[in-house]
Chain A
Amino acid sequence: MNIFSSWSLIRAFTVLVYLFMFLPVAVVILLAFNANQFGSFPMEGVSFRWFIELWHNDAIVRAFKTSMLLGALTAVISATLGVLASLALVRYDFRAKSLITTALIAPILVPEVVLAVALLLFLRWLEMPKSFPLLLLGHVIFTLPFVVLIVQARLVAVRREFEEAALSLGANAFHTFREVTLPLIMPAVFAGIIFAFTISFDDVTGTLFWKPGGVETVPTQIFAMLRNSISPEINALGAVMVVITVAVPLLGVAIARRMAAALR
């Protein structure tokens, strides 16, 4: 077999893999604009009616609001805890440091179902009912490792001298953090926030286990709607989800890059 044909084989295979991964997504987005009630090809005209119907569907709007709130709170809490944890792990020495690092990172190594069941059983054992704060807690647990990993990597690269210089000039520890450390790690903190939000926003597994009755996020709402029928609204909702989960990180990365470039 010559090199040319083996490479073209790999190329063809790669294209097929990508098609397999993205074609369904493309179909969903395409059908979201289908004027017909039944999602099938060939499409019969382009329309935004399913998006408008989404807007008038209270359950979906509520789910959307819940997801946004959950995502935003998760991002803020994870970022705050993640920054504090990273500072402790990078700048200070204490006992059981590696154990704590492992414990912080573990949630991304453990399968999500296992984590979900574990937290649920733990709450049972504590005899606590499911509630929104507990759902939030669950999301924080598995988004925190991302923030910690990203911020830690950045913090290691921020030389201690910057902080020492600020201290020597009369700034106390808090001023030094606010004026020097935080601005210098901000690109990483920002990236962590985006990660946490996106992961929380499109999580299904954990949310299904942890959400209290009556509360739906966008993914669990889609899940629930799929049980009844395949409404074209789902396509429209799917399209919105795709746009948010792709656009937010892209935007975030672009902003983080600009921030990092300004610091160089």
Chain B
Amino acid sequence: MSDREPVVALRQVIKRYGNFTAVEPMDLNVEPGAFVTLLGPSGCGKTTTLRMVAGLAAPSGGDILIKGSRVNEVPIHKRNLGIVFQNYALFPHKNIFDNVAFGLKYRKVPKAEIAERVARALELVQLPQMADRFPNQLSGGQQQRIALARAIVVEPDVLLLDEPLSALDANLREDMRVELKKIQHQLGITTIFVTHDQSEALAMSDKIVVMNKGRIEQEGSPEEVYARPRSEFVARFLGNSNLLDGTITAHNGSSLSVEVGGLGQVEADANGAAVPQDGQPVRLVVRAEKLHLSTEPSGEPGATRMNGRVDTVDYQGQAARYFVTVGAHSLQVINPIDSRPFAEGAEVCVHVRPRDIVLLTPEA
């Protein structure tokens, strides 16, 4: 990225609760204007990390920097943050105007300016007529927008979103996802987003930080993390993957032949990764949608072709997920449906391009 100073920086930040380490020493940079997502299963330390940035939890070690200065000892109300909570946390006894104006009151903003900025914030979240209502008169989605307005109206240095969409129902969640991203982009506000939902993370982020057991597994753009997982955990957590263990039998430049037990020879491409020696054990990740099924052998030259039989069909409308038995393996395949899905028990040809296979080398 650029050489601009990160808005939020974590330097070897660690969090322990007694003997339990919730966050292992962690380094993270959040660039100005970036939308960074902490993604992981529950208990992976993502929320703890967010709470440390917010000042709601004190790190056991390391430094947290906001705009270049260390904030470990700065109490939350002096950090100039905006936080959106999972269950909105709108003050039930205050109307929408007073909710949104709350942060401005403590920033000694003159009354007339408060009214103006609240109106602009409500405009931004498309709820300009709601100022006199109370939170319990609003729907969940509207409350979420007000919570967002309340957080951004103070022009915080960083916006912290703690699973803000998970309390909404599925349709609304997708609309809010688009809108949240739009508003974030429009304001250019630096954002840290915590979620366990991979599709939210992929759709919204500039950078995804995948966490597991208090550690960063991988960080990178959504494309990088999805297409080039660097660990088995990332491969399994994002999307549907097949993991195959094999041994390298031959290599020529970056193209490799891997012998996978119970499956046969698979052609792969190292894609710029360091090529291990022949005879080395490797693990291959094949995304379910990168395996193609056909009745006749086809696919581009150099692709690996295997014969299999469809075991289970999971019809999903525009696509279908198949479990295909190939040799001793059951492979997950997701293919768009062309006229009609393959039937259970159908004999098919499975093919995959070398460059669609990701190499995981056992950890050094």
Is the CB–CB distance between B93 and A165 below 8 Å?
Answer: no
Q: Which of A156-172 contact B (CB under 8 A)?
A: 159, 161-162, 164-172
A175 within 8 A of B: yes
Instruction: Tell me, rounded to whole Å, the shortest Cβ–Cβ distance linking B214 to chain A.
Output: 22
17 CB contacts below 8 A, A to B, read A159-B87, A161-B87, A161-B89, A162-B89, A165-B91, A167-B75, A168-B56, A168-B83, A168-B151, A168-B160, A170-B78, A170-B80, A172-B75, A180-B91, A184-B92, A184-B93, A263-B92
Using a Cβ–Cβ cut-off of 8 Å, how many residues does chain B contribute to the interface with A?
27
Nearest B residue (CB) for A172:
B77
Knowing A164-B83, A168-B54, A169-B150, say if A159 contacts B103 (CB, 8 Å). no
Is the CB–CB distance between B56 and A183 below 8 Å?
Answer: no
Question: What DSSP secondary structure best describes chain A's contact surface?
Answer: helix
A262 within 8 A of B: yes
Q: Tell me which residues across on chain A come within 8 A of B160, comparing CB atoms.
A: 168
Q: How far is the CA of A167 from the CA of B89 in the complex (A)?
A: 12
Nearest B residue (CB) for A163:
B89
Knowing A164-B56, A264-B136, say if A169 contacts B89 (CB, 8 Å). no
Is the CB–CB distance between A170 and B89 below 8 Å?
Answer: no
B82 within 8 A of A: yes
Is the CB–CB distance between A168 and B81 below 8 Å?
Answer: yes
Is the CB–CB distance between A165 and B85 below 8 Å?
Answer: yes
Our pick among A161, A171, A184 for the contact of B106 (Cβ within 8 Å) is A171
Q: Tell me which residues across on chain B come within 8 A of A183, comparing CB atoms.
A: 93
Knowing A171-B102, A171-B106, A172-B77, say if A166 contacts B91 (CB, 8 Å). yes
B107 within 8 A of A: yes
Q: Tell me which residues across on chain A come within 8 A of B103, comparing CB atoms.
A: 169-170
Q: How far is the CA of A264 from the CA of B75 in the complex (A)?
A: 30
* Residue from A164, A165, A167 whose CB has the most chain B CB atoms within 10 Å: A165
B154 within 8 A of A: yes
Is the CB–CB distance between A164 and B89 below 8 Å?
Answer: yes
Q: How far is the CA of A204 from the CA of B151 in the complex (A)?
A: 55
Q: Tell me which residues across on chain B come within 8 A of A263, comparing CB atoms.
A: 92-93
Is the CB–CB distance between B92 and A164 below 8 Å?
Answer: no
Q: How far is the CA of A32 from the CA of B311 in the complex (A)?
A: 91
Is the CB–CB distance between A170 and B93 below 8 Å?
Answer: no
Q: Tell me which residues across on chain B come within 8 A of A168, comparing CB atoms.
A: 54, 56, 76-77, 79, 81-83, 151, 160
Knowing A183-B93, A264-B92, say if A170 contacts B85 (CB, 8 Å). no
Q: How far is the CA of A175 from the CA of B160 in the complex (A)?
A: 22
Q: Which of B115-156 contact A (CB under 8 A)?
A: 136, 150-151, 154
Q: How far is the CA of A172 from the CA of B78 in the complex (A)?
A: 9
Q: How far is the CA of A170 from the CA of B103 in the complex (A)?
A: 6
Q: Tell me which residues across on chain B come within 8 A of A162, comparing CB atoms.
A: 89, 91
Instruction: Tell me, rounded to whole Å, the shortest Cβ–Cβ distance linking A14 to chain B.
Output: 40
Q: How far is the CA of A263 from the CA of B134 in the complex (A)?
A: 9
Q: How far is the CA of A167 from the CA of B77 in the complex (A)?
A: 5
Is the CB–CB distance between B93 and A262 below 8 Å?
Answer: yes
